[in-house]
């Protein structure tokens, strides 16, 4: 299991040390919220660039925004591994094209009430599929175990179509729910408050892996 700590719950006044404490992870997950697509605001491209300069880990940028197309150029400056957009957002096809133009790997995400079927028109282009296991917008929510059915469905689709995207989950990940993720076929787990509430984050990452 690969682990992608979400820095949303990190102490931004002590960013360098916070990033150092999670350096044994596989990715840094950045939750970008516009206050419209989800009822919360997080941070923008300037903070993302600061994070990219203070870590060796590849960035996994998750755009929870209504109009992702307008943000691709700004966030691409951080040289992320993935930019993930929601299929529920505007101008999905145009945004996919822009991400690919920037030579960034495409991620696609769906909210808990959105079906896997909505991913199918674009799935051949994706390198990452992110299944939200909570309603996006706030940290610390409880894991929705029914979302593992979507993961199992994606595992089948990947095999049937001979695709190579990785399956990621985000929301409510801890030492108990990670086992459900593993059993369903998840490749990458995003962990936020569970990890950042720990004194020893290295130990926490190892236990999740």
Q: List, for residues 192-209, the tens digit of each pLDDT value.
A: 989 999 999 999 999 999
Range of the domain at 102: 2-208
Which CA distances in Å does 94 have to 40, 64, 89, 108, 123? 25, 16, 11, 13, 15
Beta pairing partners, 60: 29, 82
Residue 120 CB partners (closer than 8 Å, separation 6+) = 157
The two counts, helices (H) then strands (E), for the chain are 8, 8
Q: What whole-number percentage of the chain has pLDDT above 90?
A: 87
3-class SS at 16? helix
Q: List, for residues 86-130, the tens digit of each pLDDT value.
A: 999 999 999 999 999 999 999 999 999 999 999 999 999 999 999
Enzyme catalytic residues: 31, 170
What is the average pLDDT across 129-135?
A: 96
DSSP letter (8 states) at residue 6: B
Check residue 139 and give its pLDDT: 61
Q: What whole-number percentage of the chain has pLDDT above 70?
A: 99
CB atoms closer than 10 angstroms to residue 198:
15
Structurally, the chain folds into a number of domains equal to 1
CATH classification at residue 183: 3.20.20.70
């Amino acid at each position: 299991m690969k682990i992608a700590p979400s820095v949303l719950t990190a102490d931004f006044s002590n960013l360098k040390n916070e990033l150092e404490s999670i350096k044994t992870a596989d990715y840094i997950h950045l939750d970008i919220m516009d206050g419209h697509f989800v009822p919360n605001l997080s941070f923008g491209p300037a903070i993302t660039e600061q994070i990219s300069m203070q870590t060796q880990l590849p960035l996994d940028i998750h755009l929870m925004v209504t109009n992702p197309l307008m943000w691709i150029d700004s966030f691409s400056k951080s040289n992320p591994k993935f930019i993930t957009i929601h299929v529920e957002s505007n101008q999905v096809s145009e945004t996919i094209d822009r991400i690919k133009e920037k030579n960034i790997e495409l991620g696609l995400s769906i909210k808990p009430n959105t079906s896997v079927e909505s991913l199918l028109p674009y799935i051949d282009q994706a390198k990452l599929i992110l299944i939200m296991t909570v309603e996006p917008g706030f940290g610390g929510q409880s894991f929705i175990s029914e979302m593992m059915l979507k993961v199992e469905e994606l595992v089948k689709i990947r095999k049937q179509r001979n695709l190579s995207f990785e399956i990621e989950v985000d929301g409510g990940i801890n030492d108990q729910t990670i086992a459900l993720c593993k059993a369903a076929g998840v490749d990458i787990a995003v962990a936020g408050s569970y990890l950042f509430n720990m004194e020893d984050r290295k130990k926490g990452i190892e236990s999740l892996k």
